[in-house]
């Protein structure tokens, strides 16, 4: 009897050791050949095929540094882990902003949930854990050729070496190449990513009008910063894309209370768009004109208002009265909120196939990006957000935020009863009966 009990104990120990050995073996194999299966309908726990393609072509290490407060979010851990699993060259780490002050100072980090994407000595700074933003930053850092931002000259515009030299510096820090272009002499270069017209004092000529129109017909991107004034050809060009500009000037009495100038509206109203998503900083404009979308846009054009003035503002139609210092709302003026920045987009197709997209962003002010204003509150971020959106790679356009869908389990009455009685009644009763039977049997035979 003693030998039999000893044999059972040895057998139990061996079974436990074999089981532990199997667990260790499986763990080692899974650690080396880890695979993850996403069974959700929208694949919310997986990165997109476009992102996988980009990171599989990496040829140098990518470091992701996320600055957090107290503890990192599970969402951030999950998305970074997906990138790491799909590329051996990607690693990430979390840094407590309040504790590692020197590292934060090195990268100029001033807010929580800021992410640094670093390749070599170059890095991009983003402010979300969205796949689109992370992949966009990686793509910018790995591009062999920098995208070119071309600024128009020859119409009295603000210049890169003058009032826009700070903007030029900030754009170059975003990994773009910046140059000036005289349309009448050079045309618009084929490799121009975004063509910018900033604060022209005179209108474009007919030849320039045709050059810009041809550029747009090929899927070009244009960014305009316009001051109050009459620009017949520019207005005609914009009108064909559903954008309406009028020769007026914004007066905002609420801003006079804070800034001391009724012609420098403080902007805080940003309708939703990828440019303004998660953007909640005030912007300071100066001598702004209204920029609006037509009431009925052509069916192939999508338009969005980017910024509006406060309800205490209005669009003053008589600019001469403002110049004389007479600021008073009358029936000819348009009461606020007034739209001062818009964007329109249109697909370019060959037959049924999409080959690109036209994007035109129009702001009713050029002063807010000048050296005097660009570092005020959110001015710089608003301008750079717009440039980044216009320059975005086509491969990133199809990367969308994924929403978790509710999938309720609907049971019949019979199924509901079965699921209740099986775990609550039947299985416990079977365990009790089986245990009682084995106990009685052992007492009888031993």
Most confident residue range from 122-131, 371-380, 402-411? 371-380
User: Which DSSP helix (H) or strand (E) runs through 369?
Assistant: none
More confident residue, 432 or 361: 361
d(Cα 241, Cα 234) in Å, to the nearest integer? 11
Give DSSP secondary structure letters for 101-120.
HHHHHHTT--SSSEEEEEET
- Per residue in 125-156, pLDDT tens? 888 888 878 887 888 788 777 889 999 999 99
d(Cα 103, Cα 63) in Å, to the nearest integer? 14
Q: What is the CATH number of domain 148-390?
A: 3.40.50
- 3-state SS assignment for residue 169: helix
- 400: confidence class by pLDDT, cuts 50, 70, 90: very low
Please give the average per-residue pLDDT across 367-379, as a whole number: 93
pLDDT value at position 225? Answer: 97
Q: What is the pTM of this model?
A: 0.65
Measuring CA to CA, which residue among 149, 214, 211 is closest to residue 358? Answer: 214
Please give the average per-residue pLDDT across 44-69, as a whole number: 82
Average pLDDT, the chain: 84
More confident residue, 166 or 26: 166
pLDDT value at position 433? Answer: 86
Contact indicator for 203, 233 with CB cutoff of 8 Å: yes
- Per residue in 160-195, pLDDT tens? 999 999 999 988 877 789 999 999 998 999 899 999
Contact indicator for 277, 389 with CB cutoff of 8 Å: no
- 397: confidence class by pLDDT, cuts 50, 70, 90: very low
- 40: confidence class by pLDDT, cuts 50, 70, 90: low
pLDDT over 70 at 4, yes or no: no
pLDDT-wise least confident of 272-276, 350-354, 399-403: 399-403
CATH superfamily placement of domain 49-141: Glutaredoxin (3.40.30.10)
pLDDT value at position 349? Answer: 81
- Per residue in 259-304, pLDDT tens? 668 888 999 999 999 898 878 889 999 999 999 999 888 888 999 9
- 395: confidence class by pLDDT, cuts 50, 70, 90: very low
Measuring CA to CA, which residue among 269, 405, 387, 404 is closest to residue 338? Answer: 269
């Amino acid at each position: 009897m003693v030998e039999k009990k000893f044999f059972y104990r040895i057998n139990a120990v061996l079974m436990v050791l074999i089981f532990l050995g199997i667990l260790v073996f499986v763990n080692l194999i899974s650690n080396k050949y880890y695979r993850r299966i996403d069974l959700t309908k929208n694949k919310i726990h997986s990165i997109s095929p476009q992102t996988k393609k980009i990171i599989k072509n990496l040829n140098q290490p990518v470091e992701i540094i996320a600055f957090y407060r107290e503890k990192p979010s599970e969402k951030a851990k999950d998305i970074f882990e997906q990138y790491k699993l799909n590329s051996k060259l990607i690693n990430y780490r979390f840094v407590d902003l309040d504790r590692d002050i020197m590292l934060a100072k090195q990268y100029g980090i001033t807010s929580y949930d800021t992410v640094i994407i670093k390749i070599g000595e170059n890095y991009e700074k983003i402010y979300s854990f969205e796949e689109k933003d992370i992949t966009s930053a990686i793509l910018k850092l790995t591009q062999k050729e920098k995208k070119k931002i071309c600024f128009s000259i020859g119409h009295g515009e603000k210049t890169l070496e003058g009032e826009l030299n700070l903007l030029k510096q900030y754009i170059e820090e975003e990994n773009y190449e910046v140059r000036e272009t005289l349309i009448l002499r050079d045309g618009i270069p084929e490799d121009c990513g975004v063509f910018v017209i900033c604060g022209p004092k005179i209108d474009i000529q007919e030849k320039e009008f045709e050059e810009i129109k041809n550029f747009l017909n090929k899927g070009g991107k244009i960014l305009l910063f316009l001051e109050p004034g009459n620009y017949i050809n520019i207005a005609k060009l914009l009108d064909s894309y559903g954008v309406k500009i009028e020769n007026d000037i914004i007066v905002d009495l609420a801003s006079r209370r804070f800034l001391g100038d009724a012609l420098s509206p403080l902007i805080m109203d940003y309708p939703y768009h990828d440019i303004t998503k998660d953007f909640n900083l005030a912007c300071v404009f100066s001598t702004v004109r209204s920029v609006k979308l037509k009431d009925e846009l052509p069916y192939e054009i999508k338009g969005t208002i980017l910024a509006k003035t406060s309800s205490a503002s209005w669009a003053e139609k008589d600019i001469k009265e403002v110049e004389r210092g007479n600021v008073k709302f009358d029936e000819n003026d348009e009461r606020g909120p007034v739209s001062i920045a818009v964007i329109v987009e249109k697909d370019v197709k060959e037959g049924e196939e999409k080959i690109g997209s036209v994007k035109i962003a129009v702001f009713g002010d050029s002063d807010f990006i000048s050296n005097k204003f660009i570092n005020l509150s959110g001015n710089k971020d608003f301008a750079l957000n717009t440039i980044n959106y216009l320059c975005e790679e086509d491969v990133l356009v199809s990367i969308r935020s994924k929403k978790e869908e509710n999938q309720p389990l609907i049971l019949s009455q019979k199924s509901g009863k079965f699921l209740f009685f099986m775990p609550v009644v039947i299985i416990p009763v079977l365990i009790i009966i089986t245990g009682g039977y084995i106990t009685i049997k052992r007492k009888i035979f031993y």
